[in-house]
Structure 1
Amino acid sequence: MIGFHVIAKKKLLKVGYSAFDLAVIGTLLALAGLFYVHVYGQTIVSRHPEKLVMQESSIVLASDGTTLRKIPLPESGYRKTAKLEEMPKLLVDTFLAVEDRRFYLHQGLDYKGIGRALLNNTLQMRVSEGGSSITQQLARNLYLNREQTLLRKLNEASIALALEKRLSKRVILEMYLNQIYMGEGQYGVKAAAEHYFGITNLKELDIMQIASLAAIPKGPSIYHPGDPDGLSVKRRELVLSVMRQQGLITQKEMATALQQEYHPPATGKEKRIGASYIDAALEEAARVTGKSKEELQTGGDTIVTGLNTGAQQALEETFSNPDLFPPNGKDQQVEAAMAIIDHRTGEVVALTGGRNPAPGRLNRAVADARQPGSAFKPIIDYGPALESGMFTPESLLPDRKSAYGSYRPENLNGVYRGQVTMKTALQQSINAPAVWLLKQVGISKATAFAAKLGIELPKEDRNLSIALGGLHAGISPLKMAQAYGVFASGGVFREAHMVRLIKDSKGKVVYEYVPRQRQAISPATAERMTAMLRSVVYEGTGKKAQLNRPVAGKTGTTQLDLPGVSRKANRDLWFVGYTSEWTAAVWMGFDRTDQNNYMTEGSGKAAALFAAVMRKAFKE
């Protein structure tokens, strides 16, 4: 009997020791968990202060105020922020009633809510409630993903506690209402109100609209007002009943809101044009403000441009007509680019960098990569000659084969007339007189003239081949249009620009274009050049550019000149011209010209494209 008691006592002691050990381990684990919860959140929040700076989408506007693009946040959607005082009290109270009634009573974790969720989940044998406070939701959205794991929930709780220690309740609530995802790529209540109801002033929201917004966070993909299955209506009705139960609205107000139907806004849609223009405008905005691309995307700026929606629409519609372009090559499509400038102001009114423009694609309108051919002659040959005072449009120039060291330029058709007037040489795009003229004026004076028109040529271009547009690197349609704009405006240079005005998220003007102009060349030179360029359009190589208004301009062609390929094969086709209002440059060609991808049509094709775009833009 004594032996039995001894054995029993030993067993009890063993059980007691084990229980003690487990208690110690449990206590240590609990302490470690508490330590983790305390330290992890503080560490994460301290290491990532940028997360507490709310990013906001910038907007690009056309000259008439039309929204061209709401710039998406990196790896996200569109957000427009609002201060808490900009939001109606009913909106704030409704979100609190639906998402976190005890928001002002807890310190980041609603233990009663968590307990209630655990009980309901246990009774239903599935996870149907989360019990997350607004602070936890903000913590998850700012720092974590949406994985349903115990560790993620622990991290979420830890960060929520850290946020509550660092930020006031008011700041947390404001951040939550600006950060929360509201479906269809919209973040925050302000962006959602604008997107779903066309309302920019949140205090104009009615009860039905407030209930609709508060219904979304539970399931942004199925409860947003535009959902096709009607689930949002049932969810909105539930929210309205919560609003009534909490005394936020009267029975009559609830009944009225229940009868209202959702109608999407008729206005406020983006004008889906100007992809190339917008990309170029953003590059310009970055340059003039010193901001990075990410800062421009996320700073909430409003960027007002000079884009003319009618002209841009006309440009893109015309470019969509394949009949206006030469045949495609064996494995490439013929490309094109065009820039239109109002030479009276310098504003770029329309621009496209290709036939199928899209954000981020190659922008051929601003890339200095194409040989301008004879379209360069007014800039480097005839303009400098007129400005020198030694020549006039009636001056006789030699038209015969000549050699300048190893450089032996030829007329394209092999015909030499002995001598011609300057006007005829330009009108018929004869090469020999142009090279001779550059030689007489001097390369240094000619390049200085080009610089006055906005074209700075590198030292590699200090040779006679530039007389026929043979440049080392090439030039862009935008720069060509800017240069011809000087002839169009009586010799006055105005910098081509796209950005008029930039406002920050608070409405403060951070940049405004200040018109700067200078008399680059004499009015007499500009007037004589315009007269000669009009003769090109009405009597020379640019006849296909004619409109129902005076047009001046010049064609340009560069040959492929590859062994085994037809001498009629061309690499670049140009037309640069102007009316009294606008100056435009058109380029056509392949991105990679080779024996399988070249054009046999001449620059008349570019002139015809110029006319087609301008005719539609001017509504002739």
Structure 2
Amino acid sequence: MSRLDARARRKLLRIFYTAFDIGVACALLLVALIVYVHLYGDAVLDRHPEKLKLAESSIILASDGTVLRRIPLPESGYRRSARLEEMPELLIKTFLAVEDHRYYSHQGLDYTGILRAALHNAVYLDNAEGGSSITQQLARNLYLNRDKNLLRKLNEASLAIALEKRLSKEEILQHYLNQIYMGQGQYGVKAAAEHYFGKTYMKELEIWQIAALAAIPKGPSVYNPESAGERPVERRKLVLRIMEQRGLITHEEMVAAAKQEIRPEAGTEAYSPGTGASYINTVLKEASRLTGKTETELQTGGYTIVTGMNPGAQLALEETFRNSDFFPSDGKTQQVEAAMVIINHDNGEIVALTGGRDPSIGSLNRAIIDARQPGSAFKPVIDYGPALESGKFMPDSLLLDRKQRYGSYSPDNHNGIYRGQVSMSQALQQSINAPAVWLLKQVGVENARAFAAKLGIVLPQEDNNLSIALGGLHTGVSPLKMAQAYSVFASGGTFNEAHTVRSISDAQGKMLYRYASKRKQVVSPLTAANMTAMLRDVVNKGTGVKARMNIPVAGKTGTTQADLPGVTGKANRDLWFVGYTPAWTAAVWMGFDHTDKDNFMTAGSGMAAALFSNVMNKAYTGSGR
């Protein structure tokens, strides 16, 4: 053999061995890829089973059934899930026709679609066509980011295969239709139908609306019905042509639907995002206590919570609170705050509530925190109510009005005047201190505390002293508890637990909780009637005259002094009015979050009484009473 032939033979062998090595490497790589594809998806699904449980926006309804709030998801969007049976068949078939018409013939990967997309991208030198099946889209949306690279596509394929092994085609399709982003912060076709077209029941969707929804996933930010320009219209027309080509609609139906003007309608949310922020805060806390679920679970579990909120009353309350004319002057570093609760004393429902002048979700809810001294507004609860209930005193009973010392405690009348004796009715009407303390001494602190507990105010052992006669409490009380207590007098002596929640149902419509009245007679009707008569005198000719309305009002003012060194003796810390009409009981509190030498009030409790009157007048009008 010539030297030339040997050299050629060695070269051929090198080429063969190199090709063989490359072939083996490719085979090993292919095996590795196959193993990776079959293992990766299963491993991810095993590690993250929670991904298949879609977070769903819970809904809070007002008493008239209108939507008060759809709770946003952690990703700052809204989702309402629906079963395939709840969706129009035409909608399902349209999404399949537009997004993946071979859905039922592949096992997660549409190889024909992938090949078509690859050829398109090669010809046009771009990466616009994805060729992803519905299963791949679901896998990407649940588990991956939107980066367009080979590894992400490989992971997507692996996850799609794993999903097809774990779930039925119907389950995957249902997840996809509930998970897909539909623009304007809406996730899933049900949320989109409600948001864009006001359709709570999806089977009411018209052909043109179904086409508009199916047009969105290709470009949620530009093809949703609220997007400006002609792009949403043209995309919808394309979807309608696909619907006709697939035999889903007739030519006549396509033409008629194409002529429909895209007109998004008001969604089901009836109130602005800030409406009822404190009320919702209270609802979630109450619902958490009732169900044992966390507030986060309640917000993202697709629950429907029906409340007792009266929309007209709530809007009247918030509108009045936005008017600074009804409040004392602000301090140097703080705004004067306020809180108010209105209860329907016939059934205990909280019809309106705000925990501040400009509340937001999660902000301090002053309406439900036991932190404020009630002052003289506490006298009906701890002094006069127990005395009447004892049967030893009546509204015309004479009480001692003298300067006295009880151990180290020596209360003063505000104006320094002592009359010797006054009737119980006059003592309450003029808010005289000395008779109130004397009366508590006669009734007994323990008996008075037991009476207050019947009204919903349980005092700690630290309050086992006579200073509670004038509303000097160890930790304080909330407007909610004060309204609850007065509602017993308003309802003839019966206790109806104040509550916001009527019912709670889960995403499948199963009822988890429904309020059942536990109405209980806790004080005698005579005590309630006598107290109401005295409290009406307070409003008609006593300290509460600014609370008067064109209907009967009974109630009591309350003031606590600031007692700050170097500050005028007229400085006040808390202003109260608690009262009731024939239908509703309400408590108003005003004050600074932190009273100090730069932030105190010189206004009196008449301002709280006036706020009560203004809110209640508007609330009655707004609620149609």
Shorter chain as denominator, the TM-score bin is: over 0.9
Aligned to 1:364: 366
Aligned to 2:193: 193
Aligned to 2:563: 561
Alignment counterpart, residue 454 of structure 2, candidates 448, 452, 455:
452
For residues 256 and 116 of structure 1, the distance between their equivalents in structure 2, rounded to whole angstroms, comes to 33
Structure 2 residue 596 is the aligned partner of structure 1 residue 598: no
For residues 419 and 155 of structure 1, the distance between their equivalents in structure 2, rounded to whole angstroms, comes to 88
Aligned to 1:275: 277
For residues 407 and 152 of structure 1, the distance between their equivalents in structure 2, rounded to whole angstroms, comes to 77
For residues 2 and 575 of structure 2, the distance between their equivalents in structure 1, rounded to whole angstroms, comes to 114
In structure 2, relative to structure 1, the CA distance for the partners of 1:76 and 1:153 (3 Å cut) is farther
User: Which string of whole-angstrom CA distances, capped at 9 and with x for unpartnered residues, describes residues 159-187 of structure 1?
Assistant: 11100011111111111111111111212
Aligned to 1:70: 70
For residues 305 and 45 of structure 2, the distance between their equivalents in structure 1, rounded to whole angstroms, comes to 32
Task: Give the CA deviation at 1:3.
Answer: 4.4
User: Which string of whole-angstrom CA distances, capped at 9 and with x for unpartnered residues, describes residues 294-324 of structure 1?
Assistant: 3312332221111111111111111111000
For residues 597 and 362 of structure 2, the distance between their equivalents in structure 1, rounded to whole angstroms, comes to 29
- Amino acid corresponding to residue 99 of structure 2 in structure 1: E
For residues 470 and 5 of structure 2, the distance between their equivalents in structure 1, rounded to whole angstroms, comes to 116
Indicate if the aligned counterparts of 2:200 and 2:268 stay in contact, CA closer than 8 A: no
Larger displacement relative to structure 2 (75-84 or 436-445): 75-84
User: Which string of whole-angstrom CA distances, capped at 9 and with x for unpartnered residues, describes residues 425-461 of structure 1?
Assistant: 1111111221121122111101000000011111111
For residues 522 and 572 of structure 1, the distance between their equivalents in structure 2, rounded to whole angstroms, comes to 31
User: Which string of whole-angstrom CA distances, capped at 9 and with x for unpartnered residues, describes residues 2-61 of structure 1?
Assistant: 445444444444443333333333322222222221111101112222222233322111
For residues 472 and 9 of structure 1, the distance between their equivalents in structure 2, rounded to whole angstroms, comes to 103
User: Which string of whole-angstrom CA distances, capped at 9 and with x for unpartnered residues, describes residues 231-288 of structure 1?
Assistant: 1001111111212222222222211111111222256342232121122112111211
1:210-609 equivalence runs, <5 A: 210-266=210-266, 268-272=268-272, 273-609=275-611
User: Which string of whole-angstrom CA distances, capped at 9 and with x for unpartnered residues, describes residues 185-219 of structure 1?
Assistant: 21211221222122233222222111111100001
For residues 9 and 329 of structure 2, the distance between their equivalents in structure 1, rounded to whole angstroms, comes to 101
For residues 33 and 217 of structure 2, the distance between their equivalents in structure 1, rounded to whole angstroms, comes to 30
- Amino acid corresponding to residue 294 of structure 1 in structure 2: T
For residues 257 and 392 of structure 1, the distance between their equivalents in structure 2, rounded to whole angstroms, comes to 77
Aligned to 2:133: 133
Indicate if the aligned counterparts of 2:195 and 2:267 stay in contact, CA closer than 8 A: no
- Amino acid corresponding to residue 108 of structure 2 in structure 1: G
Larger displacement relative to structure 2 (442-451 or 237-246): 237-246
For residues 413 and 20 of structure 2, the distance between their equivalents in structure 1, rounded to whole angstroms, comes to 104
For residues 176 and 212 of structure 1, the distance between their equivalents in structure 2, rounded to whole angstroms, comes to 17
For residues 14 and 408 of structure 2, the distance between their equivalents in structure 1, rounded to whole angstroms, comes to 106
1:166-205 equivalence runs, <5 A: 166-205=166-205
- SS of 2:603's equivalent in the other structure is coil
For residues 206 and 390 of structure 2, the distance between their equivalents in structure 1, rounded to whole angstroms, comes to 71
Moved over 6 A (4+): none
Aligned to 2:84: 84
- Amino acid corresponding to residue 443 of structure 2 in structure 1: V
- Amino acid corresponding to residue 145 of structure 1 in structure 2: N
Structure 1: runs of 5+ lacking an equivalent: none
User: Which string of whole-angstrom CA distances, capped at 9 and with x for unpartnered residues, describes residues 88-117 of structure 1?
Assistant: 222111111110111112111111211111
Task: Give the CA deviation at 1:413.
Answer: 2.3
Indicate if the aligned counterparts of 2:69 and 2:269 stay in contact, CA closer than 8 A: no
For residues 281 and 244 of structure 1, the distance between their equivalents in structure 2, rounded to whole angstroms, comes to 48
- Amino acid corresponding to residue 280 of structure 2 in structure 1: I
Structure 2: runs of 5+ lacking an equivalent: none
For residues 83 and 512 of structure 2, the distance between their equivalents in structure 1, rounded to whole angstroms, comes to 21
Larger displacement relative to structure 2 (96-105 or 129-138): 96-105
Task: Give the CA deviation at 1:484.
Answer: 0.2
Larger displacement relative to structure 2 (311-320 or 203-212): 203-212
Task: Give the CA deviation at 1:359.
Answer: 1.4
For residues 217 and 431 of structure 1, the distance between their equivalents in structure 2, rounded to whole angstroms, comes to 71
For residues 147 and 186 of structure 1, the distance between their equivalents in structure 2, rounded to whole angstroms, comes to 22
- Amino acid corresponding to residue 70 of structure 1 in structure 2: R
- Amino acid corresponding to residue 22 of structure 1 in structure 2: I
Structure 2 residue 607 is the aligned partner of structure 1 residue 617: no
For residues 259 and 349 of structure 2, the distance between their equivalents in structure 1, rounded to whole angstroms, comes to 50
Larger displacement relative to structure 2 (65-74 or 372-381): 65-74
For residues 16 and 593 of structure 1, the distance between their equivalents in structure 2, rounded to whole angstroms, comes to 91
- Amino acid corresponding to residue 535 of structure 1 in structure 2: D
- SS of 1:618's equivalent in the other structure is helix
- Amino acid corresponding to residue 188 of structure 1 in structure 2: G
For residues 119 and 334 of structure 1, the distance between their equivalents in structure 2, rounded to whole angstroms, comes to 69
Task: Give the CA deviation at 1:617.
Answer: 1.4
Structure 1 vs Structure 2 CA RMSD: 1.7
For residues 21 and 525 of structure 1, the distance between their equivalents in structure 2, rounded to whole angstroms, comes to 101
Structure 2 residue 153 is the aligned partner of structure 1 residue 149: no
For residues 244 and 516 of structure 2, the distance between their equivalents in structure 1, rounded to whole angstroms, comes to 55
**What TM-score do you get using the length of structure 2 for normalisation?**
0.96
In structure 2, relative to structure 1, the CA distance for the partners of 1:447 and 1:120 (3 Å cut) is same
Larger displacement relative to structure 2 (47-56 or 166-175): 47-56
For residues 565 and 6 of structure 2, the distance between their equivalents in structure 1, rounded to whole angstroms, comes to 109
Indicate if the aligned counterparts of 2:55 and 2:301 stay in contact, CA closer than 8 A: yes
Larger displacement relative to structure 2 (479-488 or 528-537): 528-537
Task: Give the CA deviation at 1:505.
Answer: 2.5
**What TM-score do you get using the length of structure 1 for normalisation?**
0.97
Task: Give the CA deviation at 1:136.
Answer: 0.5
For residues 202 and 528 of structure 2, the distance between their equivalents in structure 1, rounded to whole angstroms, comes to 54
- Amino acid corresponding to residue 360 of structure 1 in structure 2: G
- Amino acid corresponding to residue 458 of structure 1 in structure 2: P
- Amino acid corresponding to residue 595 of structure 2 in structure 1: T
- SS of 2:103's equivalent in the other structure is coil
- Amino acid corresponding to residue 475 of structure 1 in structure 2: V
- Amino acid corresponding to residue 327 of structure 2 in structure 1: F
- Amino acid corresponding to residue 286 of structure 2 in structure 1: E
- Amino acid corresponding to residue 525 of structure 1 in structure 2: T
For residues 378 and 144 of structure 1, the distance between their equivalents in structure 2, rounded to whole angstroms, comes to 63
Aligned to 2:17: 17
- SS of 1:595's equivalent in the other structure is coil
